[in-house]
């Protein structure tokens, strides 16, 4: 718990702008460069994980304003929240603060999961309503080209000329759909979760039970094995078991977890982004609730210790890695929170 709080304190002191309600580095005395949407969503998720363990005035202050920051990722700014229908946010802060960027389906899926975590912690109905609209946007990314090898799947990003279908755009979409079914009773969302989950298993499941990264229309598969892709598919299996009662989903999640734990020793995990590993561990511990295995929590604790000892800058309190300062540090808040007993979320 102390490590989670110390890391989040360092983030808020060094990277958070209470005026803009955004995260970013100071480039000059009075200017900042702001973080992209995915790190923003990860920081939001981290704040919710920490709040589930211990609410504090400073944490409550941040959790009362994330929608103000989120508005900076949409061309309509705060007006986007007052409309209805599908809604997706750009990957980069839009003008006048920055240039804006592509709209990624995976970014918006991660954001949707953070919103549901926010709803669980705060009860704020805006978060659930917005997650529903994000899910409608994610459904628009489903490929309808019947001529492709392994047709279907949620594409990586807009526009439709982008034809890559990735585990990272489908796994969290399937999780978001399952969670929305749990919260709203929307059986159509459950069917979307099943459809998306089964597509990934058909198109990107490796012979050893792990999931490859992406597939192109001609059937070319990029065979990188990333920890977060294993996590979202493990988590979806757990959620679908909860929704349907069908044991097969839990068994499939367990098989992937066994293969992933065998694959990802500490050196391998240290070579992956912290954001990937936070997603992996929160889903692995979600499986631990349904099918307990002490090895899951032990691996999370070992990784957490290794990161504290090897990657943390004691002067800043932030973590070093290959990504941004926020995306290297916020995921550790989640991992330390999980190790301290926070309830895992997808």
Query: Does position 58 have pLDDT exceeding 80, yes or no?
Result: no
What average pLDDT does range 243-266 have in this prediction? 97
Cα 221 from Cα 43, distance rounded (Å)? 31
Nearest to 123 by CA among 58, 192, 198, 48: 48
User: For 174, what's the count of Cα atoms within 13 Å in the CB-facing half-sphere?
Assistant: 31
- 335 and 296 Cβ atoms separated by less than 8 Å: no
What average pLDDT does range 307-315 have in this prediction? 96
Structural domain spans, the chain: 2-339
Rg (CA), the chain: 19
- 22 and 35 Cβ atoms separated by less than 8 Å: yes
Neighbouring residues of 308: CB distance < 8 A, sequence distance ≥ 6: 3
Averaged confidence pLDDT in the chain: 95
DSSP one-letter string for 119-172: HHHH--HHHHHHHHHHHHHHHTTB---TTSSS---BBSBSSTT---EEHHHHHH
Question: Tokens standing for 124?
Answer: 């704020």
55 pLDDT band (50/70/90 cuts)?
A: confident
Q: Report CA 121 to chain centroid distance, whole Å.
A: 17
Read off the pLDDT of residues 60-100 as tens digits, 9 standing for 90 and up: 888 988 999 999 999 999 999 998 899 999 999 999 999 99
Which strand (E) or helix (H) includes residue 5?
helix 2-15
Query: Structure pTM?
Result: 0.96
β-sheet with 165-166: strand ranges across: 165-166, 214-215, 221-222
Neighbouring residues of 211: CB distance < 8 A, sequence distance ≥ 6: 167, 171, 200, 204, 205, 225, 229, 230, 233, 256
Fold classification of 2-339 is Glycosyltransferase (1.50.10)
> Distances in Å between the alpha carbon of 329 and those of 18, 196, 275, 311, 336?
18, 30, 8, 10, 11
Cα 197 from Cα 165, distance rounded (Å)? 13
Read off the pLDDT of residues 12-54 as tens digits, 9 standing for 90 and up: 999 999 999 999 987 766 678 999 999 999 999 999 999 999 8
């Amino acid at each position: 718990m102390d490590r989670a709080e110390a890391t989040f304190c360092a983030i808020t002191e060094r990277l958070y702008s209470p005026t803009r309600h955004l995260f970013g580095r100071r480039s000059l005395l009075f200017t900042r460069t702001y973080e992209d949407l995915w790190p923003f969503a990860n920081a939001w998720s981290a704040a919710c994980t920490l709040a589930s363990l211990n609410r504090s005035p400073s944490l409550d202050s941040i959790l009362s304003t994330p929608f103000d920051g989120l508005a900076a990722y949409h061309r309509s700014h705060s007006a986007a929240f007052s409309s209805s229908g599908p809604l997706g946010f750009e990957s980069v802060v839009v003008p006048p603060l920055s240039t804006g960027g592509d709209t990624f389906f995976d970014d918006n899926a991660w954001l949707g999961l953070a919103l549901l975590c926010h709803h669980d912690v705060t009860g704020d109905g805006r978060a659930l309503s917005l997650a529903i609209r994000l899910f409608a946007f994610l459904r628009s990314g489903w490929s309808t080209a019947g001529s492709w090898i392994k047709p279907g799947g949620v594409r990586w990003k807009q526009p439709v000329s982008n034809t890559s279908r990735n585990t990272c755009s489908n796994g969290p979409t399937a999780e978001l759909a399952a969670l929305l079914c749990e919260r709203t009773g929307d059986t159509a969302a459950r069917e979307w979760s099943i459809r998306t989950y089964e597509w990934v298993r058909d198109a990107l499941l490796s012979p050893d039970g792990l999931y490859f990264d992406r597939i192109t229309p001609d059937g070319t598969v990029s065979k990188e094995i990333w920890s977060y892709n294993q996590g979202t598919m493990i988590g979806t299996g757990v959620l679908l078991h909860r929704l349907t009662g069908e044991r097969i989903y839990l068994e499939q999640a367990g098989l992937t977890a066994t293969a992933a734990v065998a694959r990802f020793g500490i050196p391998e995990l240290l070579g992956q982004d912290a954001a990937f590993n936070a997603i992996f561990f929160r889903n692995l511990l979600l499986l631990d609730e349904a099918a307990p295995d002490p090895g899951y929590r032990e691996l999370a604790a070992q990784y957490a210790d290794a990161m504290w000892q090897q990657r943390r800058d004691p002067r800043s309190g932030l973590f070093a890695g290959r990504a941004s300062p926020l995306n290297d540090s916020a995921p550790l808040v989640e991992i330390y929170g999980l190790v301290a007993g926070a309830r895992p979320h997808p």
